[in-house]
């Protein structure tokens, strides 16, 4: 099985490095040649174009930043649908909306190709160490064929079933809940700081008892240290997640009033020039509103 990889940002590069370390035959393509060059040094074949990559691979994994980029990579004349062979698999690992995924699924089906949504849970450091959570959804035979890949890039697999959109719904809902958690942690920190509490003590109270899990450890630590530059997902990506939550909820009649709170906080932080800081800056907005900055 020859694997292609597109989207070599920090998360994608970590995943690709894991595949190379496990001796998978890997080809890569990224418009940023510096990204491709780093993988070439580790043993990856560098494709001359996306069409070239698609034509020589059995599986193409995409970790792309937006719906627009995914749709272009899928549907353009030099893209995946036009150049993957029938029966080849496109494994979508980026975070995308249900509307975009529906279009991509249909495009691949019309060409006799297979789409598997395999969204990832975790920050880029977990990608580099192979400790991501994975949420795959798609035809069972395709999922089974990808299990060796899952074993290398993740340590927990949560199978969503044969509908790729089920995996997408889980990813979007997970990010929605995480966004609400970050907002709540920020509000809690703002309250205790007003009473001269050492924020690191409050952080230990949360992660040592109420919230003893990876997400609360990681984001609580960022907030306790005001370490907005320790980037996992940027404020822009967090705002994308807020909008994807609303996009998924509206057509099925689900109300998500909590998302409006952290969406507003992220928009405010971005307006202050903090688009490329970690999305935990929504907590910084709470500190500002509380007179702590």
pLDDT of residue 32: 86
pLDDT tens by residue, 7-22: 999 999 999 999 999 9
| pLDDT at residue 123 is higher than 90 | no
Q: Is the pLDDT of residue 293 over 90?
A: no
Tens of pLDDT along 186-220?
A: 999 999 999 999 999 999 999 998 888 888 899 99
Tens digit of each residue's pLDDT (9 = 90 or more) over 72-100: 999 999 999 999 999 999 999 999 999 99
Residue 272 reports pLDDT greater than 90: yes
Predicted local distance difference test score (pLDDT) of residue 133: 96
Contacts of 250 (CB under 8 A, 6+ apart): none
Alpha helices in 76-157 (DSSP H): 80-83, 98-110, 124-128, 140-145, 147-153
At 132 the pLDDT is: 96
Token digits of residue 134: 């994975």
pLDDT the model gives residue 33: 86
Residue 115 bridge partners (DSSP): 90
Q: Among 79, 76, 71, which residue's Cα sits nearest to residue 29?
A: 79
pLDDT value, residue 281: 96
Q: What are phi and psi of 49, to 5 degrees?
A: -160, 170
Q: Is the pLDDT of residue 266 over 90?
A: yes
Query: Which residues, at least 6 apart from 59, have a Cβ–Cβ distance to it below 8 Å?
Result: 1, 2, 3, 4, 88, 89, 90, 91, 146, 149
**What's the pLDDT at 236?**
96
CA pair distance 113, 118, nearest whole angstrom: 16
- Burial of 182 from C-beta contacts in 10 A (0-12 / 13-18 / 19+): buried
pLDDT tens digit sequence for 19-57? 999 999 999 999 888 889 989 999 999 999 999 999 999
Residues 96/38, Cβ–Cβ less than 8 Å: no
Spatial contact of 275 and 266, defined as CB atoms under 8 Å apart: no
User: What average pLDDT does this structure show over 103-115?
Assistant: 98
User: For the segment 147-189, what is each residue's pLDDT rounded down to a tens digit?
Assistant: 999 999 999 999 999 999 999 999 999 999 999 999 999 999 9
Query: What is the reported pLDDT for 31?
Result: 87
């Amino acid at each position: 099985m020859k694997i292609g990889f597109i989207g070599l940002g920090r998360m994608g590069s970590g995943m690709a490095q894991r595949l190379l370390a496990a001796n998978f035959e890997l080809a890569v393509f990224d418009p940023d040649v510096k990204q491709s060059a780093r993988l070439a040094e580790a043993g990856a074949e560098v494709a001359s174009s996306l069409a070239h990559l698609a034509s020589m691979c059995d599986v193409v994994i995409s970790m792309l930043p937006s719906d627009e980029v995914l749709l272009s990579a899928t549907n353009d004349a030099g893209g995946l649908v036009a150049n993957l062979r029938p029966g080849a698999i496109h494994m979508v690992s980026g975070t995308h909306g249900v509307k975009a995924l529906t279009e991509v699924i249909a495009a691949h089906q019309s060409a006799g190709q297979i789409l598997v949504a395999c969204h990832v849970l975790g920050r880029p450091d977990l990608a580099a160490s192979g400790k991501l959570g994975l949420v795959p959804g798609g035809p069972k035979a395709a999922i089974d064929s990808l299990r060796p890949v899952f074993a290398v890039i993740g340590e927990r697999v949560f199978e969503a079933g044969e509908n790729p959109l089920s995996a997408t719904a889980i990813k979007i809902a997970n990010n929605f809940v995480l966004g609400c958690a970050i907002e709540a942690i920020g509000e809690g920190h703002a309250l205790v700081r007003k009473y001269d509490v050492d924020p690191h003590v409050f952080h230990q109270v949360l992660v040592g008892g109420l919230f003893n899990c990876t997400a609360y450890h990681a984001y609580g630590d960022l907030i306790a240290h005001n370490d907005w530059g320790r980037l996992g997902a940027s404020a822009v990506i967090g705002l994308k997640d807020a909008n994807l939550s609303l996009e998924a909820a509206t057509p099925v009649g689900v109300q998500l009033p909590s998302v409006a709170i952290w969406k507003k906080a992220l928009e405010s932080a971005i307006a202050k020039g903090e688009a490329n800081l970690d999305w935990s800056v929504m907590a910084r907005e709470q500190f500002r509103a509380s007179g702590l900055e």
